[in-house]
Each structure stands twice: as C-alpha cells, then as structure tokens.
Chain A
Amino acid sequence: MSTLLASVGAAVLGFLAAIGRLALFTGQTISHLVRPPFYGREFGNALLQIGYFSLPVVGLTAFFTGGALALQIYSGGARFSAEAVVPQIVAIGMVRELGPVLVGLMIAARVTSSIAAEIATMKVTEQIDALVTLSTHPMKYLTLPRVLAATLVMPLLVGVGDIIGIYGGFIVGTERLGFNAAAYLQNTADFLEPLDIISSLVKGAVFGFIAALMGCYYGMNSDRGAMGVGRATKSSVVAAAILILTANFLLTEAFFSA
C-alpha cells in the first residue's frame, strides 16, 4: 500500500515539477520579447517556415473538411428536413471550431515536430552550447523567433483555412447537393457574426503559441542520442495536440458560454 502511495506521490510531484518547468520556460520566452537583441532574420525565416510553407497542408485539410462537413450536414439534416442549413452550419462549424482546431493540429504535426527535432538535434550535437560560447542566448536566437512567428502567423493561416473550408463546403453544396451558388454565399455571409471570426483568429494565435512553444521546450530539454531526439519530437507533438484541444475548450467556453 505504501509503495502504491509513494509511486502516486512521485507521479504527482513529477507532473507538478513539469508544469513548473514549462511555466518558467514560457516566462523566460516572453521576457526575451522585451529585452534586446532581437534576431530579425531568424524571425523572418520562422515566418516563412511556419506560415508560408504550411499553406498547402492547411488548404488541403480545410478544403476536404469543409466538403465532408457539407455532406454530413446534408445527410444528417435530411433526417428532420433541415438540409437547407448546410451553408450556415458549414460556416459556423469551420470558423468557430474545425478551422482553428484542424489548422492547430496540422501545425502541431508539421511545425512542432520539426522545431523539436531541429532543436533537439542541435542540443545533442552541442550546437546549443556553441551558441552560448558565441555570446548568443539560445532562447533569444531559437525560441523567441519561432514562438513569436507562430503566434502572429497562425491567425492568418486559420483565416485562410476558414475561407478554404467554407469554399470546400460551397463546392460540394453547389456541385453535388444542388444548392444555388448565390444563395449559398448569401446565407454564409448573413449567418456569420464578427465574434465568430474574432474567436477563430484568437484561437489561431493561442494555438500557434502553444505549438511553437512545445516544440522549443521539448527540443531544448531533449535527452542525448537518437532516442532522445525521437522522444522529444513525439512528446512535443502529443503535448501540443492535448494543450491545443484543452485551450480550444477553454476559449470556446470563454467566447460562447453566455
């Protein structure tokens, strides 16, 4: 019994210590935002890598999700003669939930894993130590540009994802389900409210922050060797995905609970 209690206690302490380390890491990252120097070139590279090069995967994910959503709502709505609500539900579903969450998860898969693997490899090959000896703070040079770029560029990606997702629903709705194109667009535009769009973009910023932060945190704290890099990469994606889904629930609660 005492062994069981000891292992539960150790697990709880380990969990709390991990939260503490993550909170410190987050605080340090944010503190570097207001302390020079700022590495503009690394920030520009991160914007390109996280934003521009993620557009194809974001676009394809959103397009097919929007199309599938239209099909599901049409067939589900047919059970109680509500097929006509396809444009409205696709719009609200994409903008409020599926757009930000799917883009967030795709960024976790593509960007978080890439950041974690890159930084972890830099750590095990002593490149992080080399940065320090060259008077360059690794948090400033590696973490801040990536976290800042992801936070700023993710709302744009989510916005693009929302539009392409609605377009996917529009294509399926008009080409497959027989909706009138002008009426579909009118219904979409009429139904969406500014708060829907604001919540979508805010979620994007929060998810971008989480995705990049998790990649940097697990990369910086990687163990040595190939296994260490692999473990850091896997853990970063899992943690980012869970935190994004948790944050999504909390933000939805904050925006729409009233």
Chain B
Amino acid sequence: MIELTDVHKSFGTNHVLRGVNLSVPKGESMVVIGGSGTGKSILIKSILGLVTPESGTITLDGRDVNQGDRDAFLARFGMLFQGAALFDSLPVWQNVAFRLLRGSLKKPKSEAREIAVEKLRRVGLTADVADRLPAELSGGMQKRVGLARAIAAEPEIIFFDEPTTGLDPIMAGVINDLIREIVTEMGATAITITHDMTSVRAIADKIAMLHAGKIRWTGPVADMDASTDPYVDQFIHGRAEGPIEAVR
C-alpha cells in the first residue's frame, strides 16, 4: 500500500501540495484528477523521490520511501512519462530493455532483446519497430514504447503521467485499454494522473481529485457521477462556471 500523509511541497512562493493525504491499496488502480498545474505530477514524483517534499510522510508497505535500498525500491516501480521520455540515442528495444541491460536486473543481451520484443508485441507494436530510433516513431507509438518500458521488468507498481495527452481519440482509446488490461493481468498497483475523463472511466477503480494542493474528494469510479461535491461535478462535466476558477 502507498500512503501519503500531510505532504507539502512548494516551488518558491508557489505552494503546490498543501497537505496531501492519500492511500492506494495494493492492486488498486487509482486515478488522480485535477486541473492543469494543481500538482498531480509532483504528487507521483514525490512518491518516486524525484521531488523531495518539505514535510509529511510517504510510505510504501509501511516503510518510508526515503529510507532503505533505493535501487530495490525503484525496481518495484515502472513509469510512463507524459512525453514518453524515451532516450533519443538508443534504439527502441534498448529503451524498453533499459533496466534489463544494467543494474541488479541485468540479463544477457539476447534475452533482454527477446523480452523487449515481447513487451512491444504486448503493446501492439511489431518486432520491426525494435531497431528504430524513437525519433522515427509517431507520438502514439512513442507512448506505447514508453508503456512497454514501464512494464518490461514486471513492476508491482506502475505510474502513468497523462498517458493520453496529445493523442487522437482512437489512439487514446488504445492506450487506455492497454493500461487497463496490463494492470489487471499483472495485478499491479497503478496511479494514473490525467484530466481526460475518458481515461478516468476506462482505467480507474478509484478516483482522487486534487484541488488547491489537497485531495478534495476520493471514491470509487462508480460514485463519481453521483458525487455532490461541486468541484468534482464541475470538473467531470467540464463546466467553465463553478467553484474552480477558469482563469488560473
């Protein structure tokens, strides 16, 4: 279980997280929604240690994420970045197998390549993509390669940061379905950051809404439409009028 308690983070005078409390049980797919600039990405980067909160605690299975063996901790995670964040200088298969080619999970090159090709196939890409460079792929293909990299080492926990941003509706649907299938078949715990409501409905078991640096509302996806919270109501229906200011 991932648990955040009273997490605060500022950048200069911009107080992004103002006491976030959130629990994500093992095997659950949690989707964090909220407007642009509300600190959703900072939230998952804080869990991974990419950003250091000023105060509060973040634990994984009861242990503080900042203590203990960092490599062993990170080996439990996979992450799909908003822009895929593929390494330009490496061919696609080496991007996917990056973790399998070095460090504690290192495997022989041929075996790592086999796994990479298998993961590419899992996300709907053919083996001939393996030797291309990321710059030769479309945005949707890059996202799928990023997804293949996130699952290559079969992590227990996967984070998805804006998985469908910049994709056409069909490709966004493909990515949403893939995420749902992969999370279900791997039994992984997932946290997805998005403001795409189609993704929310496709991916989520549970939803948390981040607003003004705090978790405003949390509940099962089935309860979202029935929520009486005016912030949630405005957000999920995409209304300009409501308690959330349109000009931020």
Contact = CB atoms under 8 A, between A and B. Distances in A.
Contacts of B70: 135
B71 interface: yes
B9 to A, nearest CB: 15
A28 interface: no
Given A135-B75, A135-B104, A130 B85 contact: yes
A129 B77 CA distance: 13
Contacts of B88: 121-122, 127
Contacts of B103: 37, 135-136
B50 A125 contact: no
B83 A133 contact: no
A115 B37 CA distance: 31
A37 B102 contact: yes
Nearest to B71: A135
B104 A130 contact: no
Interface string A112-156: 000000000110011101101111100000000000000000000
A122 B95 CA distance: 14
Given A133-B77, A134-B99, A135-B103, A126 B71 contact: no
Given A39-B102, A126-B82, A132 B74 contact: yes
Contact of A129 (B50, B104, B149): B50
A225 to B, nearest CB: 13
A133 B70 CA distance: 10
Contacts of B104: 135
B224 interface: no
B98 interface: yes
Contacts, number: 50
A39 B82 CA distance: 27
B180 interface: no
Q: Chain B contact residues (Cβ within 8 angstroms of A): what range?
A: 20 to 34
B196 to A, nearest CB: 19
Contact of A133 (B74, B82, B102): B74
B75 A127 contact: no
Contacts of B98: 134, 136
A135 B153 CA distance: 12
Contact of A125 (B48, B83, B149): B83
B231 interface: no
B50 A133 contact: yes
B99 A129 contact: no
A132 B51 CA distance: 11
B45 interface: yes
A250 B17 CA distance: 49
Contacts of B74: 132-135
Nearest to B77: A133
Contact of A126 (B77, B81, B102): B81
A37 B105 CA distance: 13
A130 B81 contact: yes
Interface in A16-49: 37, 39
Given A133-B50, A133-B79, A135-B71, A127 B102 contact: no
A127 B50 CA distance: 12
B48 A126 contact: no
A133 B84 CA distance: 13
Nearest to B98: A134
A127 B103 CA distance: 18
A129 B45 CA distance: 9
A125 B105 CA distance: 25
A179 to B, nearest CB: 48
A228 to B, nearest CB: 15
Interface of B: 45, 48-50, 70-71, 74-75, 77-79, 81-83, 85-88, 98-99, 102-105, 149
9 contacts: A37-B103, A122-B87, A129-B85, A130-B79, A130-B81, A130-B85, A133-B48, A135-B75, A135-B105
Given A125-B85, A126-B83, 14 more contacts: A125-B83, A127-B87, A127-B88, A130-B79, A130-B81, A130-B87, A132-B48, A132-B50, A133-B77, A133-B78, A134-B149, A135-B75, A135-B105, A136-B103
